[in-house]
Every structure is written in structure tokens, then in C-alpha cells.
Amino acid sequence: MTRTQSPHTAPRKVHEMSPAESEIFPQDRFAERHIGPDDAQVTEMLERIGYASLDALADAAVPASIRMRRPLDIGPGRSERDALAEIIGLARENQVYRSFLGMGYSDCVTPPVLVRNILENPGWYTQYTPYQPEISQGRLEALLNYQTMIKDLTGLDIANASMLDEGTAAAEAMTLSLDACKHKSARTFFVAADCHPQTIDVVETRAHPLGIEVVVGDPATFEFDEGVFGALIQYPSTDGVVRDYASFCVRAHASGALVTAACDLLALVLLEPPGAFGADIAVGNTQRFGVPLGYGGPHAAYFATREAYKRSLPGRLVGVSIDRRKRPALRLALQTREQHIRREKATSNICTAQVLLAVIAGAYAAYHGPQGLRRIAARVHRSTVVLAEGLRRQGKKVRPGLFFDTLRVDLSASESRKVLAAADRERINLRAYGDGPDGVGVSLDETTTPHEIALILAAFAGSKADVPAVHALAADTRPLDFGSLTRKSAILEHPVFNTHHSESEMMRYLHRLQSRDLSLTTSMIPLGSCTMKLNAAAEMLPITYPGFGGIHPFAPMAQTAGYQKLFRDLERWLAEITGFHAVSLQPNAGSQGEYAGLQVIRAYHQDRGALSRNVCLFPHSAHGTNPASAVMVGMKVVVVECDEAGNIDVADLRAKVAAHATELAALMVTYPSTHGVFEASIKDICKIVHEAGGQVYMDGANMNAQVGLCRPGDFGADVCHLNLHKTFCIPHGGGGPGMGPICVAKHLAPFLPGHAVIETGGSTAIGAISAAPWGSASILPISWMYIRMMGGEGLTRATQVAILNANYVAQRLSEHFPILYSGAHGLVAHECIVDVRPLKAVGVEVDDIAKRLMDYGFHAPTMSFPVVGTLMIEPTESESKEELDRFCDALIAIREEAREIAEGRIDKLDNPLKNAPHTQEMIAIDEWKHPYTREQAAFPAPWTREHKFWPAVARIDNAYGDKNLVCACPPIEAYA
Amino acid sequence: MNHDTASKSGDSRSKAMRPDDRRYTETHEWVKSDGDTVLIGITDFAVKELSNGNEGDLVYCDLPDVGRLLAAGDTFGEIESVKAVADLNSPLAGEVMEINATIEDHLEVLAKDPWEKGWLIRVKPESKSFDKLMDAKAYEKFLAEQKH
């Protein structure tokens, strides 16, 4: 690396205070805690790579043409204590009413054993997606439990490992139905009018660009024909009615259409499941299985279908395979369905899902077991029967029909207003249908008490005096007889749902699973493009505050002043950081941000009458989600080549732009590039696209290299999404939750997404992208806390140290491996690509290195993206020099092990790399037959003696799992 | 997994020419006359590219229904390994007369013998002239150029 300046100036401090001032100010400065290397280490590392200061390094790495020349206008950082005090104030400004609004969101009890051991436990929330299955067996098992639970409750054959929300799950069901339908010209999707309104909204948003016509109507009278490829019904309906859809399914199938049932999971404990009445797909929210309302999320949605459609299933799927020792081992199955492999041909763009929340929902089912769930469901139903009887005795018109937990009462407009006002006085939210003339709805839940039933009855009666006692109503009533819709099949018979019912058992089970996962609690997770930085405790504390967790997504805005302030702060800060005009916090993940951003671009072109603009350009090295998203908005995908330096080939870009000049809709580009380089030509690239009438979409996956140094809005992008779970500290949760807000330039602001239930978005908004108006609102406090505690200066320093750390790692490793791609002065941005392909000559594959890293206690970097056979390392600013050195030492040691093979000192097939990872059982075996020692196998580095992380299983056989697909808990004998 | 076969992978591939009794496409399918019909398959190169040298990694193959009419260049199926997926493209127009049903369950047959036992579909071609496709020599040359 080139030395451009002598390293003699002292590094900049986070705050410059006079000595007197600093004596009386709190000593707790968060930025110093968040950023791994201290001042001395920063100096040492800068010296090693040849720069005098962090500023000098940033000036050299970031092209001068885009360098931001002023500090971020975000204010100073706050201490953890001060920021927590401030956010507690915001939480208190939210009014936590009891919400009986239903619509897919019901209050529930998160068992404290799950709060303490999962939700508030970094061992469960700081892991990466389980792409390295040998060190991810804990959450893979938790997800397999979840899949088994969904399969059981829906009565279908196969369930995936979660979707982002019920609305997008329903939209994915629509596109699966379109693919699966035999009539290739069929373009109509029927949606029952009594589906949840936000679901209809999301489905319509998704349908439009694909040329799908959505017909909303009454399932009883809808006539199928060959133009209809699928239908969506809600079971029970949004206003609570339980209907028999068996004959509807027969009619649909007779004309070749698939049926999707959006189902309430708790209702399925008592009711005939969709698989039994003929549905092909079931979707829904699992929130009421122990996950807080959270003002809309995050929650895991489920997706289940028949065996025949398993290859079209969207999202991640956990499957059972075997390891090298033929023991059962879990892994992500059928990955070839997914965008990271199939790109524009993927069934969906979904990447990040809702792992942490799926884990909680599955654990909730395991904790309660089949009897416990039946008890909960029966009690919710029984309470609703009591409420219905009380309302009837008041002479109220409860809509007829079977119900589970939701009632709809027909009232005049003035009566409705009175009831809602009376409920409001008791801090109770009831559902208002329309402006009143359509009456009031009530949806009960696990937490409903007899006292609350009395309060609801009183609100309807207008006075407490006229309300009969709840216990008297209970004595006079019986649960409804669901007749043919009574559930006949057993649920959750697997031992895992019938064992961990005491808190001791559950605590130990969760701890056992956790200990099989390598998370940030063990070591750095250097995944390129994934920014596995610290998720600080102070950032995480607020998510379990009732003021954030206890609020229904459709609670009146007047009750959510604290949330609204938090959203405005976050929008303002993110706009300042990106240089854009407006922000939508709705998209639930990066993939959804891409989708939303492209929809906004599409709406903009259409608004200007440029209907033919439907070509989307990508560099060859784009993330797989990019082309997958473009296809979902009906765009045509055109690839732009990269030059030898890994940058966009500007000449090819010009050619492709010229070839598609009148059709050009957008260029999607990642910055710094997916190769981890600040491309100097980015400004020109944006200009070329703009001159041809196109828009520039910036994938914000690599924003951690930009914050405070340069802004996409300044150098020419029109939209960018931010992965708050990368750059802004929301933990990865082992594969979700995420948040993917989009930031847009002024001309695109009018098109920001709206919502069917809660007013939000631009003046000519596109439809809803997510089921909830602000996506996964309850994790936004994490990013708020991060920005608040770091302040503008702290954020900028974090970026600089992220670049320093990456360049330090690149520098140390460059003596042992080729480092691919660099920008000006030989510098990389915030990540670097290590080329291990030369080792192929001695039979060492990138996989072998990844698995061997596990023996050293590390998670592999990103493998084979963007270049096959290489490793992409993103250390982030949160890792100290010691940790970076440990990681580099591990990789260098592995390089030496490969040299032993090359020099013929150890067998090509029987060596520590090929046999990695080594489990305890492998090491403890009576007869050790390998040509290297047990010590070299399991304790190859000094630190492994102090703290050894043991992979739970040996190397997993990927092909076996895909050939013999099993995606639910196998019978216990399989483990014998 | 049995790694006995691993020593055969790497760059020690046999230098023998591909069979010259058939024609080849740039997407690595082959087509061979067989009476009134033709057989279509994929080349050893395609197998190797997909499975990254590990033949056991082929996991799935989807072949068309018998009777389907294909235009030249149509995608008639799909083949997957654990980590990659490829379309199967028809080198010529015609009707699918038969599929090699063994393959869908026994991909190792394709991996071991892509030329004979590993054929994928039998097609009744619209025209028997497919001389425009590459012969073995041209295909070897094409592969050699691809490497650079």
C-alpha cells in the first residue's frame, strides 16, 4: 500500500472539551464504546497502512469529487444514560391503550423466560443468517420447530422459515399461484372483500406492475373461469366470521386456480386447518404467539404450501440433512430457489426474513405445548362467546355466523361514535368500520380479562349499571360448536412441543440451542456487505419498553405521539446522512426497500407519461436482490459489464444506455461497489443515466462506508435504501428482523408508499409495501439510539474506523493472499476481497477455509460473492485491533496449513482443512487415524485453549439434504 | 460423503475429444441423430460447471412433458446443483417424444455418462438439418476461448 503522508499527527478525539469542562461532564461517551480500536490502536493501525490521520485516510479513500466537506448536522452524541432518559420520555408519550382492533394483530403474553433468554439475549439476536450451518445448529433447530408448528397448524406439507409480514406473504402467494397455474394466460387474482384491508392494499401494490388484475369480491358468489389463476380468502374473516371454504376450493381447483387462505394461527388450534379444507397455500401472522404488538412489527409471517409447490416456495427453508459422520444436521435447503442464486429468475426477492421472531413464536408453542395452546385458544374463544351474549342481551346486533375471537356489531353512526368515545374513556381501542355507519368491531386476545369484557360491554351499553356480570354470562353460555369446521387432526405431537413446559426445562433448552450458535458474543463475524457491527445494550433496551412494544399498528395517531416524534427524528437524520429530501420508514428489509424504491421510480415515470420506461440496468456484480426486485416491478433486466478493476465499465454503460435510451427506467448501483471500492466515476455514471432520462437507485448495503464522508443524494442518486440492520445497528437476529427505509430526492417524495388503514406517505403515494404503516416500528428505537448516542462526529469517526479496519486487514493479509480490487492509492473501502483461488491448485476450496475457520472460533467471511472462490471481509468499526489481529492470524495460519499440503507434508484429502470443522466427538474418538494431531485439529491457535467454540456437527452434506428434503422435525429416533 | 472421487476432479480432465457424432450449442447442450428422432443432453463441461467438480452435488432436474412443442432456443427444463441452477435449452424445434425418466431420480447417471446414458429428452425435430450448430472440433475451440 502506498504511503502518502508521514504518520505523525495525533489522531482526532471524539469530543474536544476543555479540561475543566470534561471534569464535570459525564465520562460515559458512547462512541468510544461502539468503536473497537482506541486512540492508541488507531494510531498504530494508521501507521501500518501509512496514513497520518483518519481524515487523511478518508481523503485518500473517498474520491475528492464526492467528498462531503462539512460535518453532519446531527448534533453531538449523548451518553447512554442521557439517551435512554430521552427515549424513555418518548416511550411515555405513547398512550398504551388496550387494543381490541384485531386485523391480524392481537395482544399476547411473551413468556418472561423467552424475553430474558431470547429477545434480550445477544446470544440469540447477534448471529448472522445461518449460511454456515455447522455453527448455526441452535437457531436452525429453533426454526425447524417453527416450520413444524406451521405445518401442523395449517395442515399443509411444508412451511418456510418466515416471511416479513402477512401482507407480503399473501402477495408472494399470489405470484406463486401465477407461476403454478396451468392456464398461462390467466391474469386475474380474486381477493375476498373480507380480507384484512392492509393485506388487500399490499396485494394490489404487488399485482399492478405485473399486469395482474385483482378482483375484490364475495367468495360465495364469485365465478371462476380460466382467466383466474388464484384466490385469497381470510379465515376467519377480518370481521371475525368463520366460514367453510371447502366448496370454494373445489370450484377454484375445477377451473385450475390455487387457493390461498390467510389464517389466524391461534384459531387454527380449534378450527379445521386450510390444508384440510382444500387450500393450496396458507399465510398469516404469528405475532400472537408471544411476540409484542410493537406498533406493527417486527413479527414473523408464515407461508405454508403443498409438496408440489416446494420449489416455488419463497424465502428461506430449513431442512434436515446429515453430516460427514451420517448424523442428522440442519441447513438451509433448496437455496437455488432464492435470489442470491437465481437472481432475476428467483421466485421472490426476499432475503432477510424474521428469524428472531419466528424463533420466539416456535418457542412459545414449545413452551405451552398442544394442551397449553388449546387452553389459550379455548379461553380466548370462550371470552368472545361471553362478550357476544352480553351484547345480545343489550339488544345489540352482533353479525351472525360462527366466530373465534372477533365480533362485528352493527350500529348507527351516532351509536358507533358513542361506543367508541366510551371505550376511549376507558383507554380501550375498538375497531371502527368506516366512519361509524358500519358499526364497531371487537377482537379479544390471550390477555383479555373478565374485567375488560365488562368494560367493553359497558362501553356498548353506555353505562356500567346495565351490564350483567361476566361470570353470570359465562354460566349461561357454552363454546360454539364449529360442526364440520371443528379441528379433527392432532397438533404438535413431536416431543419438542411436549417436553419444555417448566421454566427450568425451557431455560436450559434455549441455552443449549444458543450454545450451538456462533454469535457476536463469541467473535467477530466479518461478513462482507453485511456490516455485523455492535448491537449495543443501550440500543436494545428500549425495544421491550411497553411504551413501544404494547401498541397496535392501527392505534389512533393521537396515542402514538412518542413514536411519531421518533419517526420524525429518524427521518430527519437519515435524510441528512444520505443527502435526500424525504424518507419512508415502511419497507421491512433491504429487499422491500429496493422494491419500494423501484416502484417509486416507476410511478414517477408514469406520472410524467413515460410509460415505456421499463429497463433497469445493473452492474454484473449486483446483489441478487437487485434483479429479483426489478423483475417484481415489471422491469426488464439489462446487465452492465464491470472492468478489470471491478468498476462499472463506463463505455459499456454508455452503450447500454444508448441502446435503451427511450426505455431506460433506472440504474441500480451499490456504493461503494460490491467489490468494496469507492468508484471514482460514480458521479459520471449518475450523470449518464440522468441525461438519458433514467433514475439512479442506490443499494445502501454498503452505506457504512459513506456516513459522514459522502452522500448519495449529493453525487447523483435519486433513491437509496438503508439497511438499518447493517449500518444502523439493528441486530441481524440470525436472519432477521431487518428494516429497509428508503430515502428519496424531492421529485420522488410525492410517490412514497401510503397505507390503507393509517394515513402516511406522499401526496400521490404508491400503495402499501408492508402490512404496517411504519414497517417494524418497534426496532426503530435501536437506530434512533445509535444515531443519538454517536452524534454526527461519532458517526463520521465510525465510518473512518470502518475504512481503517478494512484497510488494516487488507494490508496484513496482502502478504499471504492476493487482495482483489482497490481504489485510489491502493485503498479498499470498508471491506476487502481475499483471493483464495490459488489454493485450488492443491485441492483447497474456499469452503474448506470457511469450515476450518470454525475450528479457530470464527465465522467465515462472505463466500463467493461477488467473485466466486473468494472471501469478502468486512470487519466494521466495532472490532478492536486485537480481534482483527486474531482473525488475520487465523487466516494466515490456515494459509500455512495449506502450504503443508502443497509441500506434500500432509495428505491432500486427509488434512485439517478437508476434515474441518472438528467436533468434540471427532476429537474424543478412541482411535485417532489422521496424519495430524488432535491438538492441531481442535486447538490450532492459542486463544482456542482459553475459549473454545465447538461446532455442533461435522461438515454437512448439502446435496443429501436437497435430494432427501425433510423440512419438519424428524422423529426422535433419527437422532439415536 | 465419500471423497474417493475427489482426486479425479481438479484439472486432470481427460484430454480426449468430445464425441464427434453430434452437434453442440454455446449453452453446452448436445444433439444427436437417432433414427427419425434426436436425443438432447448436456456436455461434461456443463456438468462440471454446475457441480463445481463435485458430481454428487447435482440435486435436481426438471424435464418437460411428453408432447410439448419446442421452438429452437426454448427452455425445456432446468438442472440444479446445491449451489447453482441452469436452464436447459433446446438446440432445435420439435416435439418432445420421450424423456429420460431415470435422470430425474438418478442424476449420478448424468454425471457419470453425459454422452450416452445421460441423455435428457428425445425430440422429433421439425427439420433434421442442424448443421449450423458446432461440431465437436468447433465446440472444443469454443470452450478454449471461454477460458480466457
Question: Shortest CA distance to A100 belongs to which of A554, A464, A520, A725?
Answer: A554
pLDDT reported for residue A463? 82
- What angle is formed at CA A759 by the lines to CA A754 and CA A765, rounded to 5 degrees? 25
Q: Distance between CA A852 and CA A937 in Å, rounded?
A: 9
Question: Shortest CA distance to A555 belongs to which of A91, A6, A99?
Answer: A99
Residue A863: closest C-alpha in chain B: B83
Report chain B residues whose CB lies below 8 A from the CB of A869: none
Report chain A residues whose CB lies below 8 A from the CB of B80: 336, 962
Residue A841: closest C-alpha in chain B: B10
What residues have CB less than 8 Å from A889, skipping those under 6 apart? Answer: A941
Edge-to-edge strand list for the sheet holding A819-820? A819-820, A832-835, A870-873, A862-863
Task: List the single residue in B6, B54, B82 with the smallest CB-CB distance to A962.
Answer: B82
DSSP labels for A611-680? TT--EEEEETT--THHHHHHHHTTPEEEEEPB-TTSSB-HHHHHHHHHHTTTTEEEEEEESS-TTS---T
Retrieve residue A455's grid coordinates.
368494560
Task: List the single residue in B58, B59, B83 with the smallest CB-CB distance to A341.
Answer: B83
- Interface residue B82 vs chain A (CB under 8 A): yes
Report chain A residues whose CB lies below 8 A from the CB of B84: 336, 341
Q: Distance between CA A299 and CA A357 in Å, rounded?
A: 6
Distance from CA of A135 to the nearest CA of B (A): 19
The predicted-structure confidence for A144-170, as pLDDT tens digits, reads as follows: 999 999 999 999 999 999 999 999 999
Q: Does the pLDDT value for residue A586 go beyond 80?
A: yes
- Interface residue B58 vs chain A (CB under 8 A): yes
Residue B104: closest C-alpha in chain A: A963
Task: Note whether A909 contacts B3, CB cutoff 8 Å.
Answer: yes
Q: Distance between CA B14 and CA A633 in Å, rounded?
A: 47
Q: Does the pLDDT value for residue A20 go beyond 90?
A: no
Q: Does the pLDDT value for residue B14 go beyond 80?
A: no
Q: How many residues in total does chain B contain? A: 148
Average pLDDT over residues A425-450: 91
Categorize the per-residue pLDDT at B11 as very low, low, confident or very high, splitting at 50, 70 and 90.
very low
Report chain A residues whose CB lies below 8 A from the CB of B1: 324, 957, 959-960
From residue A936, how far is each of A414, A636, A661, A895, A945 by CA, in Å?
A: 80, 52, 60, 14, 11
Categorize the per-residue pLDDT at B8 as very low, low, confident or very high, splitting at 50, 70 and 90.
very low
Average pLDDT over residues B15-32: 89
Regarding predicted confidence, which is higher, A470 or A23?
A470
Categorize the per-residue pLDDT at B52 as very low, low, confident or very high, splitting at 50, 70 and 90.
confident
The predicted-structure confidence for A297-335, as pLDDT tens digits, reads as follows: 999 999 999 999 999 999 999 999 999 999 999 999 999
Task: Note whether A959 contacts B58, CB cutoff 8 Å.
Answer: yes
Interface test with A, best of B5, B55, B68, B82 (most A CBs within 10 A): B82
Residue A662 neighbours by CB distance under 10 Å: 10
The predicted-structure confidence for A815-869, as pLDDT tens digits, reads as follows: 999 999 999 899 999 999 999 999 999 999 999 999 999 999 999 999 999 999 9
Only one residue has cell 399465510, namely A283
Q: Distance between CA A438 and CA A239 in Å, rounded?
A: 11
What's the 3-state SS for A399-437?
CCCEECCEEEEECCHHHHHHHHHHHHHCCEEEEECCCCC
Q: What's the maximum distance between 2 C-alpha atoms anywhere in chain A?
A: 92
- What residues form DSSP beta bridges with A302? A284
Interface test with A, best of B2, B62, B80, B105 (most A CBs within 10 A): B80
Categorize the per-residue pLDDT at A342 as very low, low, confident or very high, splitting at 50, 70 and 90.
confident
Report chain A residues whose CB lies below 8 A from the CB of B3: 909, 914
Residue B7: closest C-alpha in chain A: A909
Beta-sheet pairing, A695-699 with A664-670: parallel
A375-400 in b/e form (b: 16+ CB < 10 A) is ebbeebbbbbbbbbbbbeebebebbe
The predicted-structure confidence for A501-523, as pLDDT tens digits, reads as follows: 999 999 999 999 999 999 999 99
Categorize the per-residue pLDDT at A645 as very low, low, confident or very high, splitting at 50, 70 and 90.
confident
Report chain B residues whose CB lies below 8 A from the CB of A326: none
The predicted-structure confidence for A537-575, as pLDDT tens digits, reads as follows: 999 999 999 999 999 999 999 999 999 999 999 999 999
Report chain B residues whose CB lies below 8 A from the CB of A345: 85
Q: Does the pLDDT value for residue A139 go beyond 50?
A: yes
Report chain B residues whose CB lies below 8 A from the CB of A963: 59-60
- Interface residue B7 vs chain A (CB under 8 A): yes
pLDDT reported for residue A29? 87
Q: Does the pLDDT value for residue A25 go beyond 80?
A: no
pLDDT reported for residue B16? 66
Residue B105: closest C-alpha in chain A: A963
Q: Distance between CA A698 and CA A621 in Å, rounded?
A: 14
Q: What's the maximum distance between 2 C-alpha atoms anywhere in chain B?
A: 45
Report chain B residues whose CB lies below 8 A from the CB of A325: none
Q: What is the DSSP letter of A517?
A: B
Distance from CA of A958 to the nearest CA of B (A): 6
Task: List the single residue in B1, B54, B80 with the smallest CB-CB distance to A336.
Answer: B80
Task: List the single residue in A341, A914, A957 with the smallest CB-CB distance to B85.
Answer: A341
Residue A337: closest C-alpha in chain B: B85
pLDDT reported for residue B5? 31
Task: Note whether A914 contacts B3, CB cutoff 8 Å.
Answer: yes
Task: Note whether A342 contacts B80, CB cutoff 8 Å.
Answer: no
Determine contact, residues A336/B85, Cβ cutoff 8 Å: yes
Q: Does the pLDDT value for residue A975 go beyond 80?
A: no
Task: List the single residue in A324, A908, A959 with the smallest CB-CB distance to B57.
Answer: A959
Mean pLDDT of chain A: 95
Task: Note whether A909 contacts B7, CB cutoff 8 Å.
Answer: yes
Report chain A residues whose CB lies below 8 A from the CB of B83: 335-336, 341, 958
Report chain A residues whose CB lies below 8 A from the CB of B60: 311, 336, 962-963
Q: How many residues in total does chain A contain? A: 976
Q: Distance between CA B89 and CA B40 in Å, rounded?
A: 9
Task: Note whether A959 contacts B59, CB cutoff 8 Å.
Answer: yes
Distance from CA of A956 to the nearest CA of B (A): 9
Categorize the per-residue pLDDT at A797 as very low, low, confident or very high, splitting at 50, 70 and 90.
very high
Task: List the single residue in B1, B54, B85 with the smallest CB-CB distance to A336.
Answer: B85
Residue A177 neighbours by CB distance under 10 Å: 27
Average pLDDT over residues A400-407: 97
pLDDT reported for residue B130? 81
Q: Distance between CA A30 and CA A874 in Å, rounded?
A: 22
Residue A908: closest C-alpha in chain B: B7
- Interface residue B108 vs chain A (CB under 8 A): no
Report chain A residues whose CB lies below 8 A from the CB of B110: none
pLDDT reported for residue A344? 87
Report chain B residues whose CB lies below 8 A from the CB of A843: 6, 10
Residue B8: closest C-alpha in chain A: A843
pTM: 0.94
ipTM of the complex: 0.81
Task: List the single residue in A341, A843, A959 with the smallest CB-CB distance to B10.
Answer: A843
- Interface residue B66 vs chain A (CB under 8 A): no
Residue type (1 letter), A544: T
CB–CB contacts below 8 A, A to B = 44
Beta-sheet pairing, A636-640 with A615-619: parallel
Average pLDDT over residues A773-799: 98
The share of chain A scoring above pLDDT 70, in percent, equals: 97
Beta-sheet pairing, A228-235 with A258-263: parallel
The predicted-structure confidence for A264-302, as pLDDT tens digits, reads as follows: 999 999 999 999 999 999 999 999 999 999 999 999 999
- Interface residue B60 vs chain A (CB under 8 A): yes
A355-393 vs A137-154: helix crossing angle, rounded to 10 = 30
Report chain A residues whose CB lies below 8 A from the CB of B7: 908-909
Report chain A residues whose CB lies below 8 A from the CB of B58: 959
Q: What is the DSSP letter of A26?
A: -
Task: List the single residue in A341, A957, A959 with the smallest CB-CB distance to B84.
Answer: A341
Retrieve residue A584's grid coordinates.
419512508
Report chain A residues whose CB lies below 8 A from the CB of B57: 958-959
B24-34 in b/e form (b: 16+ CB < 10 A) is bbeebbbbbee
Average pLDDT over residues A919-926: 96
pLDDT reported for residue A436? 53
- Interface residue B69 vs chain A (CB under 8 A): no
